Amino acid sequence: MLITDELFDAYLKCKTKARLTFGPAGSGESSHPISDWQQRLAENYQANCRDRLQFADSADCFVGNPCSEDLKSAKYRLIIQPYITAQDVGSNIHALERGAAQTQTRNSPYTPIRFVPFEKVSKHHRLMLAFDAIVLWKASGQMPTKGTIVHGFQHTALVFKLDAWIHEVESLIGKLRTLLTGGPAPEPVLIKHCKECIFEACCRKRVTDKNDPAYGSFDTHSP
């Protein structure tokens, strides 16, 4: 089973959403006004950030998926929008930037970068970047030591160490895998995320059909 960044993102928001995204329902639900707006906002911001990076260093920039040898040898200073899969995980990484040569060969020379349009960087954003780092680690055999989140109107760069975040994400991936393979899906509970989720109508119907007392209330159904 391939755990993708899409699945991991869904799991961080709601366990039920992760199961529905993974199952056949994920191909049936495709539109929600708030979700669609958020997607356009993210895509436009990511495109703007990619253009800024490429303009600053177009000579040593690779766009797309590098071969494994080039990834391991850190051939390119900048890699834009690679989709990397390794073993049982895969991610649409926003960008990879080569830094100074590492003193330890077990550490990756690349820093994963995520583009976040919001002024405030949340724990969710940090966990998603750590997920990218795990994918890069499994693909290259070298662990990234730090990551960068470019965020907000001013394109502020937040750089932070990844080791503790990577450990947390490894645990969450294990829990997600158990959720997806360990029996029936959890019963839906209405939470704050529902109002921006493509599965909102589906979950509301299931809750109201059962006359669940959670209807109309907000609970916590994220990991």
Percentage of residues in the chain having pLDDT higher than 70: 87
Q: Give tens-digit pLDDT for 91-132.
A: 999 999 998 765 567 889 999 999 999 999 999 999 999 999
Q: What is the pTM of this model?
A: 0.86
43-49 — which CB contacts under 8 Å span 24+ positions?
A: 44/117, 45/115, 45/116, 45/117, 46/94, 46/115, 49/94, 49/95, 49/115, 49/150, 49/155
CA-based max dimension of the chain: 61
Residues 56-79 have a mean pLDDT of 87
Decide yes or no: CATH 2.130.10 for domain 3-13+28-184.
no
| Extents of the domains making up the chain | 3-13+28-184
**pLDDT value at position 218?**
42
**pLDDT value at position 207?**
79
Lowest mean pLDDT among 41-55, 71-85, 185-199: 185-199
Q: Look-up: residue for tokens 């890069």? A: 136
DSSP per residue, 30-58: ---HHHHHHHHHHHHHHHHHHHHHHHH--
**pLDDT value at position 217?**
45
**pLDDT value at position 208?**
79
Asked if the model's pLDDT at residue 50 lies above 80, the reply is yes
CB contact at 8 A, 205 and 20: no
Phi and psi, residue 84, nearest 5°: -115, 130
Residues 30-45 have a mean pLDDT of 86
Residues 172-184 have a mean pLDDT of 88
**pLDDT value at position 215?**
42
Asked if the model's pLDDT at residue 23 lies above 60, the reply is yes
